[in-house]
Structure 1
Amino acid sequence: MKNVNMNPDAKLSFLERFAYGIGDYAGNLVYSAISAFLLVYYTNVIGASAAAAASIIAISKFLDGISDLAMGYIVDHTHSKWGKARPWIARLCIPLAVCTVLMFSVPSAFAGKVQIAYMFLTYNLVSTIFYTGINVPYATMQGLMTMNQYERGLLGNFRNLLATAGTMTINTVVLKMTGFFGGGDAYTQKGWTMTFVVLMIVFIVLNMFMFFVCQERVHEESAEGGQNQVSFIKGLEGLFKNKYWLLMVVSLFAMYFMMSCFFGSAVYFTMYNMGNDGYYAMVSNLLSIAQIVTLFITPFLMKKISKRYLFMGGMAVATVGFVLSGLTTSYSLICLSSVIKGIGFGCGGATMFGCLQDAITYGEWYNGYGTAGMGNAASSFCMKVGSGVGTAALGWILAAGGFDAQLKVQSASALSSISIAFAWVPVITCVICVICMAFFNVDKYYAKVVEDLSQGKHRGE
């Protein structure tokens, strides 16, 4: 008799949902540390050139995106007693932890080209190889744990909530820990090495907890009923035939482009347009707090509203917040706009990855073969490209406005360019997301998709 707990349309326990979310909390112990502190470590601890450090990260972003596609192909062709995606969590969490410690432990004897080579090697071992090797399978697991639309929405909710908690943890503890281990100096090599030894032990424990608690219940099969042996080219071809996957890719690209441009410009906006960089902490934290509160509410909303409409509504709400922030520099109104944006981000963050999994499941039914790994990997590639282009766009916009960091008071055109990056570019990208979701009517087919796939059938059979 089939184990009910392995039902592909299963409702998951709170523990399994939480364990899945813990995976993104653990992931952000690495990802958020890189985003917030790696450049600081390179320049303030080991004295590397800021230009060299930025070049290493920029060049590696392209390699990172290519590795996503490779890992997606590997996941799609993995067959083990633990499933397709889950085994990679256990296999790679220790190598990733070790390499992260090494990345934050550049030997003091290294200088010049040797130092740059060490930085390039360790950064790519972490980001391009091992983080991708865990993150692509992790994203794929959301679609392999259950086909239940509501449960996928909840998994996305737990993922986004705990990812935000992981980011807040890193932002809160890293400099306190480096100061503690550095004997009161937050910028010693010993302090940074010991800090990441501790954080990476936690990282390993949390990933193994997720590995043992979460289960893969959805098993993709080919149209002939055998195991999926889809070529790389055929996998990509199937993705580009799937209009819903394409709509989600455009949405995710727009989201990550917007976040890089918006968050990167926030310090500039408070410093120059509002005239006080001390406002930054409150403006940013209000957004995070509103987002977290919203993420606690979205599971109840998803019982009444589909993920598609909740995503669309969230981006519409965020648009209102961005329009408000583009029309004022009032501290109280900017704080209000942060709360509005946080509510919108909470709705979008809770649903966007669940919508992606539904699109990938539709693609398996439509094409006659599954590409869950490549679907998630190619989406991740577009998110990383969007993030990188968003960061570059911020620089281009500031340069076009004549921004000069040496000036305490910026020109009117420079202030306008900051406002464009902070408010009006995000308005455009949020509207793009709303438009994409207006065409994302996969709900119309999803019951039929699940029923057919449960019987081993595909479109046209």
Structure 2
Amino acid sequence: MENTQTEVKGLATWRKLAYGLGNAGNCFIWVAISSFILIYCTNIIGIGAGLVGTLLMVAKVFDGITDIFMGRIIDLTKSRLGKARFWYFVSCLPLGICMYLIFNVPGRFSSSAKYTYVFIIYLLISAVFYTMNTVAYSTLVALVTKSQKDQTTMSSASMVCGMVGSILISSITPGLVESLGGGQQGWHYVSLIYSVIGVLILLIPFFTLKELPEEEFVEQSQKSEVKLTFIQTIAELLKNKYFIIILLLYLVGYANTGLTQTIGVYYATYILGNPSLLGILGLCGMIPMLVGMPFAVKFVGKKGMRKACILGNVVSLAGCVIALLGQFAGFGVILAGLIIKGVGMLPGSATYLPFVVKADEYNYLKTGHRITGSMFSCSSVGIKIGTGLGTALCGWLLEWSRFDGTAAVQSGMANSVIIAIYLVAPIITTAITILLYYKMDVDARIEKMRTIKIAD
């Protein structure tokens, strides 16, 4: 085990940045799929948005189930590569292969065969390999360092790299597809390029991080403890109110992500009249992340995670309202609103994973059990079911509005639905997020439990 990971000062900076790069690699696969799979289906292979959205949502139901199992599997894993690191490595190559396959639906297939093909490949990605990858990736935060400062920085690096990767994919993909031949030919080459690059970047955290010895996470009183069964583990998770709150935070946050990522290309294409503007819209969220994340970490340290997140989301809510007003006041106002929204998202971006660590610590103090892998599965459940729900809602609403992927100009109803999804939905999800953070008093609860324990 390398010394940089066991010293009090924590992980070397370059290792924390290397962890963050894993999320950038993820963007070449998952963000590309979640952002463009619906428009690929409606505009390239000619199948309906409503049914596609339904199939993707069904896949997410299976996905949520496998997440919990994956967390349990990580908890029980013993290998020379570690618990989470082993499964992270195993998942990388299959993710790249599936990324290529889902954007290469055979043109000779009938409509029903195309639906089936998309469903099966999407199910393999989300319910098997992406589950394996993201649960393991999230769990690594708790297994490679015990420093909350390091965990916050790693979470921040992950969010920044993910944001940069997301904006890059959003910005270049439409133009890249066209430059490589357009239509199915363009998607063939783009999916191949993204698959290779994505896998290579995903492997960076595997080769740069090592898990701490398991003994460092087990106190003397816990060493003789009987291992929990799967049912007992699930019961503990469901009794942990902070697990439930974090799960809801992920569901709401990533439902919003699924909505805006999926509808973003429609908004740029049919409302703004230029699909290339998708990158500029996304850039408004990336700039605050790149400039403000170091300040966000200090802000979180000064105010505490819960208070910082509440204040941040109030700012984000104001940005959402300004962006909506920009639909009537002009494109510049929209961009200003999105930038303000991005600023408000900073504290939440820096504390997603540290909050999970806190929930696991609360569970240990309450029950004497460590179920770290299962606890971190909540992040993957929320990300994928939330994103899937957002994508499905887009499909259902586009179908309801009678969106026509073959038409250059859409109906007034379709345009109104696109605007509502992109600009109104974030107001609702941000308001819900503020209420959830208000209930997230895990730091105070842990401190109280430790005080009682010392007194006893």
TM-score (norm 2): 0.83
Q: Secondary structure at the match of 1:27?
A: helix
Instruction: Specify the alignment match of 1:31 in structure 2.
Output: 30
Alpha-carbon deviations, 1:344-380, whole Å to 9, x = none? 1233212222222222232223221122222122342
Paired residues of 1:9 and 1:146 also in contact (CA < 8 A) = no
Alpha-carbon deviations, 1:110-147, whole Å to 9, x = none? 33444443333222222221111111111111122222
Instruction: Specify the alignment match of 2:440 in structure 1.
Output: 440
Which amino acid in structure 1 is aligned with residue 154 of structure 2?
L
Larger deviation: 381-390 or 64-73?
381-390
Instruction: Specify the alignment match of 1:56 in structure 2.
Output: 55
Tell me the C-alpha RMSD between the 2 structures: 3.6
Distance 1:414 1:27, change over 3 A: closer
Alpha-carbon deviations, 1:230-288, whole Å to 9, x = none? 2221112212232222222222222223334455566777889xx74457664443233
Alpha-carbon deviations, 1:357-411, whole Å to 9, x = none? 2222322232211222221223422343333444555677789xx9565896747
How many residues align structurally? 445
Distance 1:414 1:228, change over 3 A: farther
Question: In structure 2, what is the Cα distance between the partners aligned to 1:229 and 1:82?
Answer: 21
Q: Secondary structure at the match of 1:81?
A: coil
| Correspondence for 1:206 among 189, 201, 204 | 201
Residue 165 of structure 1: how far off its partner (Å): 1.6
| Correspondence for 1:315 among 313, 328, 336 | 313
Q: In percent, how many aligned pairs have the same letter?
A: 26
Residue 86 of structure 1: how far off its partner (Å): 0.5
Instruction: Specify the alignment match of 2:98 in structure 1.
Output: 99
Which amino acid in structure 2 is aligned with residue 186 of structure 1?
G
Report matched runs for 1:265-414 at 5 Å: 276-278=272-274, 282-327=280-325, 329-331=328-330, 332-391=332-391, 405=403, 410=412
Which amino acid in structure 1 is aligned with residue 286 of structure 2?
S
Specify which structure has the bigger relative contact order, considering alpha-carbon pairs within 8 angstroms and separated by 6 or more residues: 2
Instruction: Specify the alignment match of 2:19 in structure 1.
Output: 20
Alpha-carbon deviations, 1:394-443, whole Å to 9, x = none? 677789xx9565896747x995x777655555334323323333333333
Question: In structure 1, what is the Cα distance between the partners aligned to 2:372 and 2:120?
Answer: 30
1:430 to 2:414 alignment: no
Q: Secondary structure at the match of 1:304?
A: helix
Larger deviation: 245-254 or 137-146?
245-254
Question: In structure 2, what is the Cα distance between the partners aligned to 1:103 and 1:397?
Answer: 23
Unpaired runs of at least 5, structure 1: 453-457
Distance 1:459 1:216, change over 3 A: farther
Q: Secondary structure at the match of 2:232?
A: helix
Larger deviation: 332-341 or 276-285?
276-285
Paired residues of 2:126 and 2:384 also in contact (CA < 8 A) = no
Which amino acid in structure 2 is aligned with residue 206 of structure 1?
I
Unpaired runs of at least 5, structure 2: none
Instruction: Specify the alignment match of 2:89 in structure 1.
Output: 90
Which amino acid in structure 2 is aligned with residue 297 of structure 1?
F
TM-score (norm 1): 0.82
Residue 109 of structure 1: how far off its partner (Å): 4.1
Instruction: Specify the alignment match of 1:139 in structure 2.
Output: 138
Paired residues of 1:150 and 1:302 also in contact (CA < 8 A) = no
Paired residues of 2:142 and 2:372 also in contact (CA < 8 A) = yes
Instruction: Specify the alignment match of 2:152 in structure 1.
Output: 153
Question: In structure 2, what is the Cα distance between the partners aligned to 1:282 and 1:288?
Answer: 10
Residue 159 of structure 1: how far off its partner (Å): 0.4
Question: In structure 2, what is the Cα distance between the partners aligned to 1:345 and 1:321?
Answer: 10
Instruction: Specify the alignment match of 1:248 in structure 2.
Output: 246
